[in-house]
Structure 1
């Protein structure tokens, strides 16, 4: 006889929501104990000389302000839950952590090469940007309402965000924002789509709008 076990816990069914909860909890911990943030954020000196290798992962779970946290968590909840339902939890976690790890590793390489010893990278933005790109591939015709008013197709939103990040990186606009990390997230997701779906996101977007 087949048995069905019903779990009433929403978080047990969604890795995206569980990740969100962990981020929120760690935010309040680091607000209460600011010194913890330095151990969890990614810093090239602490990794090279302090051997704090866990920072390649832990930086994704700490945020510098409430607005920083809210922006990333809204993206993770909205886009992450949809991507997880489509891909499955295992693939979603592979996408999320591989993108976050790749974004952190590339940022680390840039900081170390440039001698940016006092920079501390923190936030889930790289992984969230990766999830956004994959969302736009899986749901290319979805309209996202900016500020609740302006409807923008998901692929166009990704393209606009990418252009903003490239422009900001080249011209040092909003230098306190980790533009390299955001672009790395997009690049990691692009590679994920190429490997898993055997086509580039651009080709899949074109196919979706030919139908």
Structure 2
């Protein structure tokens, strides 16, 4: 690790600028740059790229940039700048796409209940946009938990480089499997080949249950990890070393 490599240095600089500039200028670019649900009026295809440079808090960006530096540095040193950037953005874009597909599946399951209750598409979208309703058709058709779920899917945008970072983390584990890793809340060093699968399984568990704390895009993490794994595994098996 140590010295910042070129790609990681510039990625960190861009992320920091995008985080700080709106605060200094008192502007909110969330509607434009964060990744929205496709049926939301603020959705744009460019958001699959731009959401990777948006972060919700100082802790969010600090953890992501630390992960980028700690696990990405040896990969860029091994692969070179261009290859690392291709990998990073592929993992990030894949994370956003898989996250959207999972959300769409969850959304449609509840959305059909609205339609079956006699509401039109425009009525459903209007209700979801407002986030509340007293329409008796809705009250009789779905539970409060289902309503909260679908309004959250519709209205909550995704931000952060976490999907790309998970791809980087998995690639690190493939190429440096015996490296010892530890977290603040579990400071005992564990080999990457054990540590990383446990983290991903944790995301899968929290993503499929109600035990998740806060608005964490677990399936974006899993998506980035999956794409990162496939690319890194292919490169490792085929010894693709072109920068």
- Please, which of 156, 176, 180 is the counterpart of residue 215 of structure 2? 176
1:41 aligns with 2:41: no
Q: Does 1:87 align with 2:79?
A: yes
User: Structure 1's 40 and 51: CA in aligned 2 closer, same or farther, altered over 3 A?
Assistant: closer
CA distance in 2, matches of 1:36, 1:75: 24
TM-score w.r.t. length of structure 1:
0.81
Alpha-carbon offset, residue 34 of structure 1 = 4.4
Identify the match of residue 142 of structure 1 among 161, 164, 179: 179
Task: Name the TM-score, length of structure 2 as normaliser.
Answer: 0.71
* C-alpha deviation, 1:25, in angstroms: 1.0
* Displacement over 4 Å in runs of 4+: 48-51
| 1:191 correspondence with 2:183 | no
Following the alignment from structure 2 to structure 1, what is the Cα–Cα distance between the partners of residues 12 and 69?
7
Question: C-alpha distance in 1, partners of 2:104/2:41?
Answer: 12
Distance 2:193 2:29 in 1: 37
Q: What corresponds to 1:155 in structure 2?
A: 193
Whose RCO is larger (CA < 8 A, sep 6+)?
A: 2
Native 8 Å contact 1:103 1:184 kept in 2: yes
Whether contact under 8 Å (1:136, 1:155) holds in the other structure is: yes
- Aligned with 1:144: secondary structure? strand
What's the counterpart of residue 141 of structure 2? Answer: none
Q: Answer whether contact 1:133 1:190 (CA < 8 A) is retained.
A: yes
Residues 16-40 of structure 1 deviation map (CA, whole Å, 9 limit, x = unaligned) = 1210111111111233434212211
Q: For 2:208 and 2:224, how far apart are their aligned partners in 1?
A: 17
Q: Specify every segment of 5 or more residues in structure 1 that has no aligned partner in the other structure, as ranges.
A: 1-9, 200-211
What are the superposed Cα offsets for residues 175-201 of structure 1, whole Å, 9 maximum, x if unpaired?
A: 5100000001110111112322238xx
Displacement of 1:65 in angstroms is: 0.5
User: What is the alpha-carbon root mean square deviation over aligned residues?
Assistant: 2.1
The equivalent residue for 1:28 is 20
Q: CA deviation at 1:49?
A: 5.0
Is 1:63 equivalent to 2:43 in the alignment?
A: no
* C-alpha separation in 1, matches of 2:86 and 2:53: 16
Q: Which has the larger radius of gyration?
A: 2
Q: Which residues of structure 2 form unaligned runs of 5+?
A: 108-149, 239-243
